[in-house]
Amino acid sequence: MSFPAGFVWGAATAAHQLEGGNWNSDCWALEHAKPSFFAEPSADACDHAARYGDDIAVLAALGLNAYRFSIEWARVEPEEGAFSQPALDHYKRVIDACWSRNVQPVATFHHFTNPRWVTRDGGWNDDRFPDRFARYCDVAAGELAGELASACTINEINLPDSLGELMLRVKAKHPDRVAAAEQALGAPVESFFLFAGSETYARRASRAHVLARDAIKAAAPHVPVGMTMSIQECEAEPVETAQAAMRAYKQRVYAPYYELAKQDDFLGVQTYTRTLFGADGRASRRPPSGAEVTQMGYEYRPQALGAACRDAWAATRTPILVTESGIATKDDARRRAFIREALGSVAAAIADGVDIRGYVYWTLLDNFEWMSGYAPLFGLVGVDRRTQARAIKPSAVMLGQIARANSLDAGASEADFALSTSGAAVGLGVNG
């Protein structure tokens, strides 16, 4: 149960979800619309913009060797063409904090949020988007890319395609929220990433990725560049309507980006559960009856990760980095089981020849889970919402043990964690 030498072991975050005070972003505007699609505002989040040093120290002390974070465009280019040197310097310090603790920095250039000015002009549905994104990547990469271990252009580039139908239903159900959102953005709600699915989205998104990759490569030819994709295990009932629906879905939501990924250095795979296709020809994330369900309403399905990696590898033959995999739960014992089972499916895929270079858990800290607010707990480390105190969960310790040993044989005894299943701090000496 050992992993290949040099295997990457990390935890992921995204700027808007934990830095705090990202008020110049489109997402912040949507959070404050009345009524809003968002359960609550992101507010101070985890104050990670100030606390990144301590948070990276915790990650390193656990035994992880990579930190995936995102660079916030809304901070780096607050108005068109006006770049903020202090914002760029901040991310330089984040990168330095990683290297000073032997942690590889993996940066994502777009993780869901845009500056307000970009979205006001139509955002993802504006034909100027790819060039604007590329210009920001060019500047940010010029300052930062040389020191990165790897770079991701766009997080879950295919998510708008996969959310398409769901978002149509959500919009139809809440016309009042749509109206408030459009007033807050000064643009159609489809300008925002999560609502951007359309016939023409893939064309703009693909171009944005290619231009961004070229900009990062120009600044730092040695740094591996890829995008990340939301890839779930897909399973269809054994009837033709269901099988056909699954083929059509994969053709629309995965195939265009798999094609692009063939030119990249790696593909970031992000998996949370399984998508089922029924005889009615519809895709559904609804868990089968009797299945264990996570706080997100997803089916508990850790082995979906191995299945998604196999699918991506078969289609692309591009090396894979698992850039996100995780579970939202209050029960840290279920998180430990989920991690072990997900890693087991990764190890089995590697044994079958799938080229997987690393595993990055989503997420380091309990944080702002987009429209669901702060309720879902994905973190390896808890955060007290009032005091910002961090509490290392047993699952974090277990993952660190596996990472240090580079083997699933480590941290195997649940008895080791029996005293701290409540998620209380287990005293690594770095926890404030």
Q: How far is the CB of 50 from ligand FCB (least distance, A)?
A: 21
Exactly one of 77, 156, 324, 369 is catalytic; name it: 156
Q: Pick from 324, 346, 350, 382: which binds ligand FCB (CB under 6 A)?
A: 324
Restricting to residues 214-243, which ones interact with ligand FCB according to CB under 6 A? 230
Q: Does 72 bind ligand FCB (CB under 6 A)?
A: no
Closer of 360 and 398 to ligand FCB (Cβ): 360
What does the per-residue mask of binding to ligand FCB show for 138-157, with x meaning CB under 6 A? -----------------xx-
Q: How many residues does the chain have?
A: 432
Q: Does 369 bind ligand FCB (CB under 6 A)?
A: yes
Q: How far is the CB of 19 from ligand FCB (least distance, A)?
A: 13
Q: Pick from 37, 38, 362, 374: which binds ligand FCB (CB under 6 A)?
A: 362
Q: Pick from 7, 69, 249, 370: which binds ligand FCB (CB under 6 A)?
A: 370
Q: How far is the CB of 140 from ligand FCB (least distance, A)?
A: 19
Is 156 designated active site?
yes
Q: Which stretch binds ligand FCB (CB under 6 A): 80-88, 99-107, 362-370, 405-413?
A: 362-370
Q: How far is the CB of 155 from ligand FCB (least distance, A)?
A: 5
| Residues touching ligand FCB, count (CB under 6 A) | 11
Q: How far is the CB of 285 from ligand FCB (least distance, A)?
A: 12
In the bound complex, which residue of the shown chain has the CB atom lying closest to ligand FCB? 14
Active site (catalytic) residues:
156
Binding site for ligand FCB (CB under 6 A): 14, 17, 155-156, 230, 270, 324, 362, 369-370, 378
